């Protein structure tokens, strides 16, 4: 059997984590090619529906990355993300999906190395969890 190669979606906020991801690129920090970034202005604009849509469509893991608490470009946007995403994890658990398929973390514009670490760890964790059971489910 071929090695499980997870598909991972990441939401990065424009001001911190997307810039951190750019910095990782500039520094040529290598990481697994499983991650696909969608740029949003603030992590607080990531609707729970996006996460659920991705997971129910078979995406193996979703990362939501924002600015560190206190550093949000929009003052308190990430406070909402910090409260919202654990709720989405609860929903996932409730419907029988391992809640570790969604991870929330903070990456600042200067933390290219942290971006690399978070992505590498998350890809490793999703590989351990195995394929998303929703893969191949016909709706």
- Residue 117 makes contact with other proteins by CB under 8 A: no
Lay out the site mask for other proteins across 36-75 (x = CB under 8 A, - = otherwise): xxxxxxx-xxxxxxx--xx--xxx----------xxxxxx
Q: How far apart are CA 60 and CA 56, in angstroms?
A: 9
Supply the minimum distance, in Å, between the C-beta of residue 95 and other proteins. 18
Supply the minimum distance, in Å, between the C-beta of residue 91 and other proteins. 14
The neighbouring-strand residues paired with 66 are: 106
Near other proteins by CB under 8 A: residue from 1, 17, 22, 121:
22
- Residue 138 makes contact with other proteins by CB under 8 A: no
Only segment of 32-40, 94-102, 122-130 that touches other proteins (CB under 8 A): 32-40
The neighbouring-strand residues paired with 8 are: 35, 61
Q: How far apart are CA 63 and CA 46, in angstroms?
A: 11
Please answer whether residues 11 and 61 qualify as being in contact, where contact means their C-beta atoms are separated by less than 8 angstroms: no
Based on DSSP, count helices (H) and strands (E) in the chain, helices before strands. 4, 4
The owner of tokens 């969604």 is: 102
Q: What's the chain's length in residues?
A: 139
Residues forming the site for other proteins (CB under 8 A) = 5, 7, 9, 14-16, 18-19, 21-22, 24-26, 28-31, 33, 36-42, 44-50, 53-54, 57-59, 70-77, 80, 84, 108-110, 116, 135-136
């Amino acid at each position: 059997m071929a090695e499980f190669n997870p598909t991972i979606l990441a939401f990065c906020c424009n001001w911190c984590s997307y810039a951190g991801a750019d910095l990782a690129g500039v520094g040529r920090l290598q990481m697994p090619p499983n991650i696909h970034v969608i740029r949003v202005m603030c992590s607080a604009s990531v609707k729970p529906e996006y996460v659920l849509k991705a997971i129910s469509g078979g995406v193996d893991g979703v990362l939501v990355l924002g600015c560190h608490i206190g550093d949000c470009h929009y003052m308190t946007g990430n406070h909402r993300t910090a409260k919202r995403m654990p709720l989405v994890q609860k929903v996932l658990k409730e419907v029988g999906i391992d809640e570790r398929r969604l991870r929330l973390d903070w990456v600042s514009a200067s933390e290219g190395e942290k971006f690399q670490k978070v992505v590498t760890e998350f890809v490793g964790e999703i590989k351990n969890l195995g394929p998303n059971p929703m893969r191949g489910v016909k709706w």
